[in-house]
Structure 1
Amino acid sequence: MKHDAPLILAADIGGTNTRLALLDGTQLRAASVSRYANAKADNLEEILRNYLGAQGTAPDAVSLALAGPVTGDHGRLTNLDWSITTQGASEATGGAKAFLLNDLQAQGHALPYLGQSALTHVQCAAPQCGEPAANAQAPCLMIGLGTGMNVAPVHRLGARTYVPPAEAGHTSFAPQDQALKEFNTALAARIGHVASEDVLSGRGLEHAYLHTAGAPLPAVEIMALCAAGDAPALSAAALVIRALGHFAGDMALTHLPRGGVYLVGGVARALAPYFDDLGFAASFAAKGRFSDFMAQFAVHVVKDDYAALIGAASYAQECIGAREQPF
């Protein structure tokens, strides 16, 4: 079958689940979205073969967004012992051209395709509010909070998108107020080196609740307690939210994302309703004599759960159109 746009199989591969979808270029076929539990498969290739067998079609390209570092044509998941290669993906999909990128990079490649309805606005960029950046080519910054945490700057260069890789979740956590310093000290006594994602992630919320309540609890249950007004749960959420504000502000000064800061991932979406009450904006702006400068950066939460799939497909389409790997 001939397609006006390449038929792309996109995969969003996490430590627990893999989501797959078919896209005509960057147009998602919503009915094709499927989720697979990684624990039920021996490897990604098995999932790809099972999915295409159910869909009864062969893609022109396969684009893999994975939660872990990527080097050339090889990647490894941070929270699952799977090694993933473009060769293996191509062979599992009948010889489709295969591409590989980090999952947060994929989120960055999705940005040009996200409308205002896909976003929750946390902070408007002065002087405009709820409007696109004046310069569509302005750099943006993705901060992903889920099982882990990472950062990806996004640059639009003409019709192409440049999203350099990073492993910012493993930078050292830098607490900025007394309560966060006490939390950091207690956490370091338990786990040793405290990385940023030990606080800014699902397990970070669990670490924070153990600190405030003295008992372990899964992140999803902590958020349920927050909704019920539980004081230790809200105190734990406040620690994570303030830490996120300080970290996001640091990253904004590092990258100057005048196109906006975009928070993505399940933890970011879960915490977003509490940002106003639990101190995100004040922490984001707490940069001494540069506090007023921080008002120029819009901050959004990405609500579109399919963004990584769309971004993976966009990356593949740019590769195909350019006849080369984008940057």
Structure 2
Amino acid sequence: MTTNAPLILAADIGGTNTRVALLDATSLRAQTVTRYQNAKSSGLEDILRHYMDAQGAKPDAVSLALAGPIENGSGRLTNLDWAIDTASASAATDGAMGVLLNDLQAQGRALPFLAPQSLKGVQTGDPSSNEATCLMIGIGTGLNVAPVHRVGGQTYVPAAEAGHISFSARDAALGAFEKDLEGRLGHVAAEDIMSGRGLERAYRHVTGHDLAASDVMALCGQSDKDADTAVGLLVRALGHFCGDMALAHLPLGGIYLVGGVARALLPFMDKHGFLSCFADKGRFSGFMGQFPISVVEDDYAALVGAASYAQERLNVR
């Protein structure tokens, strides 16, 4: 890190929580990481002003990683009724240059900065070049997918909203779950199943009772049969979905699963056949073994990726 590194305020804004931190370029000041519950705030500007008061810093840029679509410097969270724009963020941070990107784009930009110990392998795959396409799949409050392209030393992560494509069941149990949701939701998107809310819906489908996703995972860890069945639905659905996305993007550089639900499901992937579902592609089944798959356990990766994007923008001003 150089002494003239820009000071960047980065925010990772999800449907449930917002994490904010200060970074010297892409070097995270770990002691500055602060988590806010969105339900307790009136909006992002409220969070940014509170954070600025607490830190007493004047950032050069404010970079916002948003769980939702972005257009012309503004966006709206998919799973929370917040509209966010760079002008308001700049005003809330004493005129810092404001930039905005999708949260999964930020995760993709963080790949070059991830420590090896922050990755938990699911499938080894085959070695590939540093220029090979990677794929980020985020599973948390919602679901999204973003390819990561490395061209001439630069990282390009196009935006997507792949969590809202139609879900397609691949076994009888998943088909029954999909039919149940269809009766209640109409259109069943991939996100309706592969997300925190999806886990709650799976438990309700299995038991007829409502339970928070964190409680379902806790019961699953205690070998509760119903919770385990609900988790199995998500793991198998995710395996099939990841396999579809792998064929769509050919990410020989690796598939990276990020988000709280991805990390929670990791210990149960082997038991519930994640890789067999991933490889369930008929005559292309053997082809699926070449893709490395990892779960990212660095909860601050999106902050680093957002800062990397802001640094790039500062350099071209």
8 Å Cα contact 1:74/1:84 also seen in 2:
yes
- Would you identify which runs of 4 or more consecutive aligned residues in structure 1 move more than 6 Å? none
How far 1:303 sits from its partner (Å)? 0.1
Where in structure 2 are there 5+ consecutive unaligned residues? none
Aligned with residue 137 of structure 1, among 126, 131, 134 = 131
Please list the CA deviations of residues 23-62 of structure 1 after superposition, one character each: whole Å capped at 9, or x if unmatched: 0110000001111222332221121121111111100111
8 Å Cα contact 2:65/2:106 also seen in 1:
yes
Larger deviation: 281-290 or 177-186? 177-186
Alignment-derived partner of residue 281 in structure 1? 275
Alignment-derived partner of residue 109 in structure 2? 109
Give 3-state SS (helix, strand or coil) of 2:310's partner: helix
CA distance in 2, matches of 1:237, 1:113: 31
Alignment-derived partner of residue 318 in structure 1? 312
Aligned with residue 296 of structure 2, among 280, 302, 305 = 302
CA distance 1:170–1:289, change in 2 (3 Å):
same
Q: How does 1:233-272 map to 2 (within 5 A)?
A: 233-272=227-266
Alignment-derived partner of residue 25 in structure 1? 25
- Return the letter of the residue paired with 1:94: D
CA distance in 2, matches of 1:144, 1:35: 19
Matched, 1:203 2:197: yes
Give 3-state SS (helix, strand or coil) of 1:46's partner: helix
CA distance in 2, matches of 1:223, 1:43: 30
CA distance in 1, matches of 2:39, 2:208: 31
Please list the CA deviations of residues 51-105 of structure 1 after superposition, one character each: whole Å capped at 9, or x if unmatched: 1111111001110001111112001111222111111111111111110011111
Q: How does 1:102-181 map to 2 (within 5 A)?
A: 102-126=102-126, 133-181=127-175
Identity fraction in percent = 63
How far 1:212 sits from its partner (Å)? 1.5
8 Å Cα contact 1:175/1:181 also seen in 2:
yes
How far 1:265 sits from its partner (Å)? 0.4
Give 3-state SS (helix, strand or coil) of 1:283's partner: helix
Aligned with residue 179 of structure 2, among 179, 185, 203 = 185
Where in structure 1 are there 5+ consecutive unaligned residues? 127-132
Q: How does 1:213-224 map to 2 (within 5 A)?
A: 213-224=207-218
Please list the CA deviations of residues 189-244 of structure 1 after superposition, one character each: whole Å capped at 9, or x if unmatched: 12211110011001111111111222221111110111111111111111110100
Give the total of aligned pairs: 316
Alignment-derived partner of residue 76 in structure 2? 76
- Return the letter of the residue paired with 1:146: G
- Return the letter of the residue paired with 2:5: A
How far 1:3 sits from its partner (Å)? 4.4
Q: How does 1:32-111 map to 2 (within 5 A)?
A: 32-111=32-111
TM-score by length of 2: 0.97
8 Å Cα contact 1:242/1:279 also seen in 2:
yes
CA distance in 1, matches of 2:110, 2:236: 27
CA distance in 1, matches of 2:315, 2:117: 29
Larger deviation: 154-163 or 294-303? 154-163
8 Å Cα contact 1:10/1:313 also seen in 2:
yes
8 Å Cα contact 1:160/1:318 also seen in 2:
no
8 Å Cα contact 1:187/1:194 also seen in 2:
yes
8 Å Cα contact 1:9/1:21 also seen in 2:
yes
Give 3-state SS (helix, strand or coil) of 1:277's partner: coil
Give 3-state SS (helix, strand or coil) of 1:276's partner: coil
CA distance in 2, matches of 1:211, 1:85: 38
8 Å Cα contact 2:16/2:141 also seen in 1:
no
TM-score by length of 1: 0.94
